[in-house]
Amino acid sequence: SFVNQVFNELESPAEVSLLKDLQISVLKERQFLIHTILNHTILNSEYDHSDRLRNLTSLVSHKLSDYEKVVQEAVRGGVSLPQDPNNPAPQPTRWNFLQAVFFASTVLTTIGYGNIVPATFSGRVFCIVFALVGIPLTLSVIASMGHIFATAVSSLYARVRKHLPPAPGILTRVSIAARRSLMAVAAILFLFLYLAAGAGLFMLWEEDWTFFEGFYFCFVTMTTIGFGDLVPSTWPD
């Protein structure tokens, strides 16, 4: 909780300032584009129609390119374009407590989706220290949990096996290598069922995700690849 609060306090003010600057840049460039089109149309009214249209097309193409660059930068920064340019709505920030929890989790598990990252010097320094201390501890906990899970599965299998009828003679003559192969296939099937269950849950939470997208996200997360092309966007209020 303390770590999440630190990330939130360090990064949220900087993000609010960045979003505001990006929004102002978009609005200024938009107004400048409109102003340029109107002034150029009026100043060139004495030209013939073809010359005026040619000059206006060239100028608008140039200014529109500048506007598109500003819009692209703003969208990458997380700014949603205002519906009413004269009354822009406040921009929702990506850094809040839940996002800080999500970010801290991706750091500790070395997934690193990249959809939200520290942008301030102090936030990056704290992230380095946090990762250096937290990642070894997390790996140790994961290894312990894996050992506990494997022990629990083995114990459950031993108990269930006592109540099962004797195996046919052909199965008792199967080689150790064949048994290991069967266990590997069973483990893969269990893994796919586990990923499918996660995909089903994400379909319920993320309305625009398909089953394959949920399955893909679960696989990328479980293997700690973390491309960041798909990340959950639905958060509880």
Q: What are phi and psi of 105, to 5 degrees?
A: -65, -40
Report the alpha-carbon distance of residue 224 to residue 38 in Å, rounded: 53
Over residues 153-181, the pLDDT tens digits come to: 778 877 877 777 765 555 555 566 776 78
Return the amino acid letter for 175.
Answer: S
2-43 vs 97-108: helix crossing angle, rounded to 10: 110
Q: According to the model, what pLDDT value does residue 107 have? A: 94
Which residue positions in the chain have pLDDT lower than 70? 1, 37-38, 40-57, 78-92, 166-176, 179, 235-237
State residue 41's pLDDT score: 60
- Cβ atoms of 91 and 19 within 8 Å: the answer is yes
pLDDT value of residue 1: 65
